[in-house]
Structure 1
Amino acid sequence: MSHTPLPLGRLAPAPAVPLAQLLRRYVIFAVLALLLLFFAWREPAFLQPANLLSILQSTAVQALLGLAVTVALIAGGFDLSIGATATSALIASSYAMVVWQWGALATGAFGLAIGAAIGLFNALLVVRLRIPDLLATLGTLFLLGGLQLIPTGGQSISPGLILPDGSNANGEFSPAFLALGRAELLGVPLPVLIVALLALGLWFLMARTRWGRVFYATGGNEEAARLAGAPTARYRTIAFVLSGVLAALGGLIIAARVGRGDVSGGSALLLDSVGAALIGFAVLNVRRPNVPGTIVGAVLVGVLLNGLSMLNVPFYTQDFVKGGVLVLALALTYAGRHGRH
């Protein structure tokens, strides 16, 4: 079979990318740009550097919990207990510092250990006992929701707290611990730098290493990965433990930022974090959980919340707007998928 040679100096044209596919690939960035322009038009102070840093700082915890959801999703699980895990770490660290008068380092390690223990418990339920992940982590959510109220009788933890036995808590939050949520480095909030470093590390692990490929293979088809020799049970366990530790770190940052152990400090973060992880499916049209997409999704949610607050939009309509953006992004991403294989 003969081929007509191309004339010298000319290359074959690159195949054209369908417009619909191009739009789906970049729709999230277009939505984010439009939101920035709209909020800047309605409220010029929106694009001030101080407000942009405030958005990033408030987004840091949502991004951490979004990464927790993403890690579980990559390995084929879904962790509904991340908000309760964050609150448990928040309460446990505050209790250790105010009641037991521990130092900052011991308190931080204790909070992260709480998250790891919760992740192991979820792995026991899902991996060993074969309980569906949604049901197992929902049960953990309710279990933690009641457990974290017992030590203080449902009260938030702050210096001078009167405990159920009538004694007073005389400890205080250490300045070194508070720096975790309040310090800045070169004008950038420390939580933002922590999230950036963790996201970079997780991206490299999941996208550039053999371990990451096994995580995705486990989530894509666990039985096939197991038959191929992958220790799928171990990888799913590691995923739940990582999810718990990331959520616990979010709880520690909340405690350090507000300087108290608020019993409802992390309970409202679940939906925003899940939304960030799901929006990440639409980023660059990858259609699977991924670390960069989750970060973009968290920033999108943060921009929405900040902009709606600056425009004095009632709080009871904000979830509706977030839901609308999530549905729109996923609809544009998956539109027409049924026609291709």
Structure 2
Amino acid sequence: MSSVSIDRQARLPRGTDLLRFGVPAALAAVLLVFAIAAPGFLTLNNVAGVLVNNVALTAIVALAMTLAVAAGGTDLSVGTAVDLGSLAFVSAIAAGHPVWIAALLGVLAGVGTGVFNAILIARLGITPFLATLGTLFIGHSLQQLTTDGGNPVYVSAASIPPALAFIGHGSVLGVPFVLWLLAGLAFGTWLVLARTRFGREVLAIGVEPQVALYSGLPVGRILTLVYGASAALAAVAGILLSAHVNAYVPYSGNAYLLDSIGAAFIGTSLSRTRRANVPGTLLGVALFGFVQNGLLLVGWNFYWQQVGTGILIFGALLLAFAGRGSAARGRPGAH
């Protein structure tokens, strides 16, 4: 078998295991503080609202980012994939196509974005940061060209299909559809990364890309699948966003970019080996969502909410550097 075993990579010393509890402890502290400071914070209606409005779509985009980070890169174009998925979906609905065809076209628009990224990264050797940054700018221009300078595209209120209304606002067994979909996508992403050979190969590329290449792994094909899947997930978020507001809103995907990056990297602190993982990413998204909601309830405006998010990201970086420093001290010959 020509796969690279990631088990060979040195784990962090056991003394740094306390760092892994940083994100869960921070989330518990946030819930406790805001439960005291804002009496309505832990009510069922507020928690449900946070999960649907603050967490669900960001979490799906963050799952997309998790795949890219697991492969040793990043994807600055996830917002573009959100937008292009939304644009293709709404345009197809407005043209009278069935919802399932519109959804398929939306996902394919996202996949195209991811495959373009993979060509730049795997075939042309451009770094993921620069490649996906270029795709972001191209995506912005493409949206302007296809919408007369960036005009929204609306679905007529009189012609909203029942399936579209269900995707945007429906529930199953009393639980919003968007949360069921998030649970399914999160489980599927976790299963692929943590329990399959493909997931081990992705992580191997993320740890030692040159070793993976020399070991015979089809790095180009794997990266194509990774970035294609990443963009497809982001496009799903775009479809859900469109179904919720019955419109395509230009550049709305950018709102999810920074939170998805922060959540994916904060989530790495949950792993002893500091690798991207789905549970950690979901905890990171929940942390952002509840902090932003709590600050809103206590009267802080949007700008201060962004300060709170920035502080969380700085905290994640401190945890990461602390873990790396402990790992370096724990290596043989480091003293």
* TM-score for both structures, normalised by structure 2: 0.89
> How far apart are residue 124 of structure 1 and its match?
0.9
**Equivalent in the alignment of 1:28:** 23
Contact conserved, 1:26 with 1:285, CA < 8 A, in 2? no
Q: For residues 131 and 284 of structure 1, do their structure 2 counterparts lie closer, same or farther at Cα, with a shift above 3 Å needed? A: closer
Q: Which runs of 5+ in 1 are unaligned?
A: 1-16, 161-169
> How far apart are residue 172 of structure 1 and its match?
3.5
Q: Aligned equivalents of 2:121 and 2:271: distance in 1?
A: 31
> How far apart are residue 283 of structure 1 and its match?
2.0
Question: SS of 2:312's equivalent?
Answer: helix
> How far apart are residue 226 of structure 1 and its match?
1.9
**Equivalent in the alignment of 1:135:** 130
Asked whether 1:88 is paired with 2:84, we answer yes
Contact conserved, 1:72 with 1:239, CA < 8 A, in 2? yes
Q: For residues 94 and 171 of structure 1, do their structure 2 counterparts lie closer, same or farther at Cα, with a shift above 3 Å needed? A: farther
Asked whether 1:67 is paired with 2:57, we answer no
> How far apart are residue 221 of structure 1 and its match?
1.0
Instruction: Render the CA deviation track for 1:197-252: whole Å, top value 9, x for unaligned.
Output: 11111111111121111111111112211222211111111000001100000100
> How far apart are residue 159 of structure 1 and its match?
4.0
Contact conserved, 2:111 with 2:231, CA < 8 A, in 1? yes
Mean Cα deviation higher: 300-309 or 326-335: 326-335
> How far apart are residue 149 of structure 1 and its match?
2.4
Hey, which bits of structure 1, 4+ residues long, moved more than 6 A?
none
Residue in structure 1 matching 2:193, options 188, 206, 209: 206
Q: Aligned equivalents of 1:73 and 1:55: distance in 2?
A: 26
Contact conserved, 1:53 with 1:188, CA < 8 A, in 2? no
1:64 maps to amino acid: I
> How far apart are residue 260 of structure 1 and its match?
1.3
**Equivalent in the alignment of 2:289:** 302
> How far apart are residue 340 of structure 1 and its match?
2.4
2:106 maps to amino acid: G
Q: For residues 230 and 315 of structure 1, do their structure 2 counterparts lie closer, same or farther at Cα, with a shift above 3 Å needed? A: same
**Equivalent in the alignment of 1:276:** 263
Contact conserved, 2:140 with 2:251, CA < 8 A, in 1? no
What pairs with 1:41-190 in structure 2 (closer than 5 Å)?
41-58=36-53, 59-98=55-94, 100-153=95-148, 154-159=150-155, 172-190=159-177
> How far apart are residue 151 of structure 1 and its match?
2.5
Mean Cα deviation higher: 328-337 or 181-190: 328-337
> How far apart are residue 66 of structure 1 and its match?
0.6
Identity of aligned residues (%): 37
Contact conserved, 2:265 with 2:316, CA < 8 A, in 1? no
**Equivalent in the alignment of 2:33:** 38
Q: Aligned equivalents of 1:60 and 1:22: distance in 2?
A: 29
Question: SS of 1:46's equivalent?
Answer: coil
Instruction: Render the CA deviation track for 1:284-328: whole Å, top value 9, x for unaligned.
Output: 544111111111111111111111122221111222211111211
> How far apart are residue 329 of structure 1 and its match?
2.9
* TM-score for both structures, normalised by structure 1: 0.88
Name the count of aligned residue pairs: 314
Q: Aligned equivalents of 2:329 and 2:314: distance in 1?
A: 20
Instruction: Render the CA deviation track for 1:243-291: whole Å, top value 9, x for unaligned.
Output: 1100000100100111111113212110011111011011254411111
Asked whether 1:287 is paired with 2:274, we answer yes
Q: Aligned equivalents of 1:173 and 1:179: distance in 2?
A: 10
Which is helix-richer, 1 or 2? 2
Mean Cα deviation higher: 51-60 or 107-116: 51-60
Asked whether 1:327 is paired with 2:314, we answer yes
1:252 maps to amino acid: I
Mean Cα deviation higher: 237-246 or 55-64: 55-64
Residue in structure 2 matching 1:339, options 312, 329, 335: 329
Asked whether 1:197 is paired with 2:187, we answer no
Larger radius of gyration: 1
Contact conserved, 2:80 with 2:251, CA < 8 A, in 1? no
Contact conserved, 1:90 with 1:265, CA < 8 A, in 2? no
Question: SS of 1:78's equivalent?
Answer: coil
1:290 maps to amino acid: N
Question: SS of 1:181's equivalent?
Answer: helix
Q: Aligned equivalents of 2:174 and 2:252: distance in 1?
A: 26
Q: Aligned equivalents of 1:300 and 1:194: distance in 2?
A: 20
Contact conserved, 1:282 with 1:330, CA < 8 A, in 2? no
Root-mean-square deviation (CA, aligned residues, Å) is 1.8
Q: Which runs of 5+ in 2 are unaligned?
A: 1-13
**Equivalent in the alignment of 1:232:** 219
Residue in structure 1 matching 2:236, options 230, 249, 269: 249
Q: Aligned equivalents of 1:318 and 1:286: distance in 2?
A: 31
Contact conserved, 2:271 with 2:277, CA < 8 A, in 1? no
Q: Aligned equivalents of 1:109 and 1:171: distance in 2?
A: 23
Contact conserved, 2:86 with 2:238, CA < 8 A, in 1? yes
Q: Aligned equivalents of 2:144 and 2:168: distance in 1?
A: 23
